[in-house]
Chain A
């Protein structure tokens, strides 16, 4: 297992375990912390987490694949998240997602997050971003955008340089 974790992070995680009656309950907090630090959760990181919490690696793998916010690969420098829940879907989020995919040479039918070849942009569908009246809505990294048409999308991309 080629996974090394900084001493401070490990100390932080060790402390985290003490918050829960069962070690297993700390799984999600571990994964958040690891993704925060490394940018993604590698296979080795999952195995490390499992060993640390006295679990089997499959238990951690189930979690990582269940939650869309966990990544198993480094994401692009800019992460584009398009809402696909009902209101936004009706307002045209499918078209918006496809627009991004075409721009970056990605498959708009593929399941899950995809990253452009140059590693600059990641595109994915997410569930409701809680602005259902102004769909289609999206996020680019921490910034939130409403009623995004294709041309507005292009403008947003202009700012990503």
Chain B
């Protein structure tokens, strides 16, 4: 890892070789080479050049992160290249400009012949006509052919509202169908695997899903059976489409053919509020969009970030949101096992307890699922009491694509801030000993069930004060003297540092449940009451203050983090 944040100035990149072409009558200069799906430089395509010029060429099978297939023909555009005389010299117009030979059908020179923009490289002097009548006619024809056997069941289709077939049909298609024959029927409810249902009638055979699972995941599981109008997307009969990335095919399917069993028929997509967030299920920290409505989370979708997760996320992370709405969420402030209390009372009493605590008598177990801001505030308390601190490591299997063996989203944050020792969890036995021999009298636990990590209920009962904040009940929350209901990350703002040292922020999607409050808010109050230090009462200010104080954060600011985050040395 480099020793500078990515925001700092780097040596100027080598000059890019450019080429002049004309798009829709306007001359522009585009790089001769642009990154392909793997990021390797390849000759720039017409589609990439058009995008650079602000023209969105409609496309189905093309996806910037998948190998090019060129099978849907939606991206056909009319174009021309400088005419060459028999002497291989450019033919000039009377005004001296280069004469352009439009591409036409060889046997019918009055008919324009388009080229697929996704797979055709540009050449010097080329002219592309993305809005010409001929281009429009080609699009109409392609759409008409795609709709021949399409069931048009938009009213019951999950994709409606984010369907490229709908969108392009509105933009480029015909209102009425000329097709009077009977449509070919295909399987409507195919159980492809544990998380995916396929409607083959809606499939437009773009092969995005096939390429994704083969070339990105390495699980060559999908393909096309039969031929002609019976061509059908399928798995091998009886072989489940079941890798940990299958749900990405639902995202990239341009139509409603691949649907998520989890999201199917749950919510119309246009009702969903979209919030930029981060997956919390492992240290990769995939960027996600949380789709929520009226306080409920309905789905996670990956959000593109080339420094982290490209356009993908794993299925296990994507589906790990149900607990947010679990019935048994902790929603009340409690004092001494289930007596309800108000926030002001509880914070006042806890502050008093802590103010009286002597140096070395307090221990803190925080969670590496907590945000930097929360851990930073806890560290302030720890410093005040000279408290021993730790977090709980969480391990699983990793894979080659995204999933990290570290299942905590913020292990690096916990280490940089100094809550967790370099070997996370190595202080836990010391804390247990301290409670056993009576030196530790007050234990603060955030978001972990310490009874599962060597600090059993037998030890917890020995404490004078057990202050716990959590989201869901467990053995530790049951023993708490003070129980403070915290928030799921979808209910608050904050930042994490991922496994590669990328600091990423997430925003609030829904309101906290019941009386639950974002941890940083009440921690901020506690820190002020106990240490007299007044920090910033906003997440932005808090983050900026932390980044000033902790050298590793290099003084990055909340604003600079932006949507994509910033890499720091870890």
Contacts and interface: CB of A to CB of B under 8 A. Distances in A.
A57 B236 contact: yes
Interface of A: 43, 46-47, 55-59, 61-62, 65-66, 111
B366 interface: no
Interface stretch (B13-21, B88-96, B218-226, B261-269): B218-226
Pick the most buried of B221, B227, B236: most chain A CB atoms within 10 A of its CB.
B236
Interface in B295-313: none
B236 A58 contact: yes
Given A43-B237, A65-B225, A59 B220 contact: yes
Interface string B424-457: 0000000000000000000000000000000000
Contact of A62 (B225, B230, B237): B225
Contact of B227 (A47, A57, A66): A66
6 contacts: A58-B234, A59-B223, A61-B237, A62-B223, A65-B225, A111-B230
A58 B238 contact: no
A153 B223 CA distance: 39
Interface string B219-250: 01111111100100011111100000000000
B433 to A, nearest CB: 55
Contacts, number: 35
Given A43-B237, A43-B238, A58 B226 contact: no
B226 A61 contact: no
Interface residues of B, number: 15
Main SS at interface, chain A: helix
Contacts of A43: 237-238
Contacts of A57: 236, 239
A58 B230 contact: no
Contact of A56 (B221, B230, B234): B221
Contact of B225 (A47, A55, A61): A61
Contacts of A46: 236
Contacts of B220: 55-56, 58-59
A111 to B, nearest CB: 6
Pick the most buried of A47, A58, A62: most chain B CB atoms within 10 A of its CB.
A58
Nearest to A67: B227
Nearest to A64: B225
Contacts of B239: 57-58
A7 to B, nearest CB: 27
Pick the most buried of B225, B230, B235: most chain A CB atoms within 10 A of its CB.
B225
A58 B235 contact: yes
A58 B223 contact: yes
B223 A66 contact: no
B213 to A, nearest CB: 10
Interface string B72-83: 000000000000
Nearest to B241: A58
Contacts of A56: 220-221, 236
